[in-house]
Amino acid sequence: MSERAVASRPALHLGARGLLAAWHGPLGPAVCRFDTWQRARPRFVRGIGHAGADRPVVPALRRDGDEIEVAWCEEDGAWSVRLDLDGAPRSEARLRHPAASAVAFGGAVLFAADPEGVVAIRPGDAAPLRLVSERRPGFAIDAAALAAEALVVFHVAGERSWGAASVPPRGAPTVVRHDLRAACESLRVRSVGSRAAVALGLAGGACRLAIVGAAAKVIERPHEVFDRSHGALRWPEVVWTDNRWTALAYRPADEGLVVEAVAGAFALPRCAGPFAAGFFNQRFYALEIEPRGEAVELRLWRVGADGKEPQQRVVELPLDDQAERRVARSVRATLQSVAHEIEARADYRGGSVRPELSRDGAALSMRDDDGIVTLRARPVLDGGVDGAPDAAVAVRVESAMGEGLAVTPAPSSLVRLARWIRARWSSEERARAEAREAEARTLAEALDARVEGVELAGNTLVLHLLLQVMPSPDQLVRWLRRLRDAQARLTADPARLS
C-alpha cells in the first residue's frame, strides 16, 4: 500500500458525545468533532502539531472522559496533546517517543513504531517498553484496549507475517508472531471485553479475520469472511455489532463498500478506497477523507444494520486555523531551505556559520565570524499588506555585529520615548532616525515588505517587517548579506548612531 493511501485512511471514534475524526491532510494532521449526525458543521476542525514538521501519518485518537487525547508523528518523533470537547488545548503538546513513524492508542497506552521496532508507553512508566526489536523500516501498527490489558497488532509492509503484543498495566508483555500465505498490506484491530478482532488485508485482494484474546493468544486463526464472488477487496475493517463481529471492505471493481453482515453491498459514492468504519445505535458508519485544495472533503455514510435507510453526508472541512497554518508551513519551509543553503555555502567556502532552526520552525539563528542574525516570523491574521484579506507574515530580524557576538538588549519603552522626544527637538537626532529609516526602507523594498519599525542599539540592528508572502530562500540568503552591509554603514558612521 502506498504512503498516500496509508495517510489518507482516517481515524474514527463514535460515542454518545458525538463523532471524532482525525486525518492527515494538505496542511498536516487534523481533528474534528461533530455533536450529532444531524449537525451540519463540526464543533471544531483544527490542525495539530508544529505546522510543516509533520510526517504523513494519520493521528491516533482516544476519548478520556471529557477530554480528547491526540497523538501524531513529526520529524523528531511522536507527540501528543489533550483537547477539550470544543478543541481547546487542555495540556501542552509533548514529545512522547523520538523517531516514531506511526502511533496508536490501546486505551491509555500509547504504542509507537520506530526504526528499532515497536514500543509501548504506559502511564507512569519511566521509559518506553520495547516490544519488538528489529531494525527494519515499514512497521505499521494498530491497537485496542482489552478488559485488563492493551493490545497492539503490527506488520512490516510486504512481509508474509503479522504479530500481536499484549501489554498489562504492570509487568512483562507477551509478543507472538504468525505467518501468512500472502504479504500483509493492511491490518486493523477492534475490541470488546476481553476479545479483539484483527482484519488483515493481503496481497492479491484477500481479506482475513482473526480473533485474539488475553495475552495475545489467537482464539480463531485468520479465516476468510467474504464470499469470493466479490473479487479482490482491500482495506478491510471490523466492528462489533451487538453479538458478533462484522467485517467491511472496499471493492475496487465498482467502488463499493462490502458489508459482510448485509446481503450484497452498499456503495460509498466516489470512494477513493481507504476508509474508517464504526457501528453505533444499530447503524454502520463509514468515513472517507479526500483532499480538496488546502481543505478536505469529509464523506460520511451511514446505513441500518439490515442495509436499509442509507444516508450520506458530504462536508467540506477547512481548518479553523487554516490561514495561520498555511503561513506557518510556508515560513518553516523557507527558513529550512535558507538554513540548508547557508550551510552548504559555508561548507563549500570553508566558513564557520552554522544555522539553527527553532523547534516551531518560526525562527532561524545564524552565527558566524561577523556576528549573529536571527529571523523570527509569525502569521498576522487581521488583514495583510495594503489591507489584503488573507494572512500576512510579520518578520523580526535582529542582527548583532562585532567582537563578542553579544546582542544588545532592545531598548525599553521609556528609552524609546526619550528618543522620540529628542528626535522631535533635535535636528541631529532626526537625521539619525531618517538614516535608519532610509536603510530600512531600502531593505524592505528588496523583499516587497513594509517597514513596521527599526531600532539600532549599540551593535544590534532590529527590523520589523510585514510581508504578504515569504520570499524565496535564494532571495532571502542574498538579502541577509545586504542587511549586514546596511548595518555596517550605519555603525561605521558615528553620526548615524542612536
| Percent residues over pLDDT 90 in the chain | 57
**Number of helices (H) and strands (E), helices first, in the chain?**
5, 34
Give the list of residues 6+ apart from residue 133 with CB closer than 8 angstroms, or none.
116, 117
Q: What is the pLDDT of residue 341?
A: 87
| Mean pLDDT estimate for the chain | 86
- Which DSSP category does 54 fall into? B
DSSP string spanning 203-215?
Answer: TTS-EEEEEE-GG
**194, 288, 312, 186: which is closest to 238 by C-alpha?**
186
Q: What is the structure's pLDDT at 265?
A: 56
pLDDT at 136: 84
pLDDT band of 268, cuts 50, 70, 90: low
Instruction: Return the beta strands (E) in 26-167 as ranges.
Output: 28-34, 44-47, 60-64, 67-74, 77-84, 94-98, 102-106, 109-114, 117-121, 129-133, 139-145, 150-156, 161-167
**Percentage of the chain lying above the pLDDT 70 cut:** 85
E strands, 203-264, where?
A: 207-212, 218-224, 234-240, 245-251, 256-259
Residue 407: pLDDT band with limits 50, 70, 90: very low
What is d(CA 366, CA 372) in angstroms, rounded to the nearest whole number?
6
Most confident by average pLDDT, 139-143, 411-415, 440-444, 452-456: 139-143
Kindly calculate the radius of gyration of the chain based on its CA atoms and give it in whole angstroms.
Answer: 28
pTM as predicted: 0.85
Per-residue pLDDT tens digits for 190-246: 999 999 999 999 999 999 999 999 999 999 999 998 888 888 999 999 999 988 999
pLDDT at position 270, please? 58
Q: Is the pLDDT of residue 498 over 50?
A: no
* pLDDT on residue 112: 98
On the question of pLDDT at 495 being above 60, the answer is no
What is the Cα–Cα distance from 274 to 253, expressed in whole angstroms? 14
pLDDT tens per residue, range 387-403? 444 668 999 999 988 75
Res. 337 pLDDT band, cuts 50 70 90: very high
Cell readout for 74 is 513529526
Report in angstroms the alpha-carbon separations of 202 from 187, 222, 328, 415: 9, 11, 39, 71
pLDDT of residue 464: 93
Neighbouring residues of 241: CB distance < 8 A, sequence distance ≥ 6: 261, 279, 284, 305
Domains of the chain: 3-321 (2.130.10.10), 323-496 (no CATH)
Q: Does 262 score more than 60 pLDDT?
A: no
pLDDT at 426: 62
Check if the beta carbon of residue 325 is closer than 8 Å to that of residue 319. Answer: yes
pLDDT at 492: 67
Tell me how far the alpha carbon of residue 498 is from its chain's centroid. 45
For the chain, what percentages of helix, strand and coil (3-state, to nearest 5) are there? 20, 45, 35
Given this model, what pLDDT does residue 174 score?
A: 97
What does the pLDDT read at residue 192?
96
Q: Quickly state the pLDDT bin for 189 (edges 50, 70, 90).
A: very high
Going by pLDDT thresholds of 50, 70 and 90, the confidence category of residue 489 is confident
Spatial separation of the C-alpha atoms in residues 238 and 261, rounded to whole Å: 11
Nearest-angstrom CA–CA distance, 42 and 383: 26
Nearest CA-CA partner of 335 in 48, 51, 26: 51
pLDDT at 420 over 60: no
pLDDT, residue 427, reads 65
Tell me phi and psi for residue 313, to 5 degrees.
-125, 130
pLDDT band at 144 (very low <50, low <70, confident <90, very high): very high
Mean pLDDT of 137-146: 94
4, pLDDT greater than 60? no
In DSSP notation, 347-414 reads: HHHT---EEEE-TTSSEEEEE-SSEEEEEEEEEE-S--GGG-SS-EEEEEEEEEESTT-PPPPPPPHH
- The answer to whether residue 271 scores a pLDDT higher than 70 is no
Q: Which residues contact 140 (CB under 8 A, 6 or more apart)?
A: 6, 102, 113, 154, 155, 156, 157, 186, 187
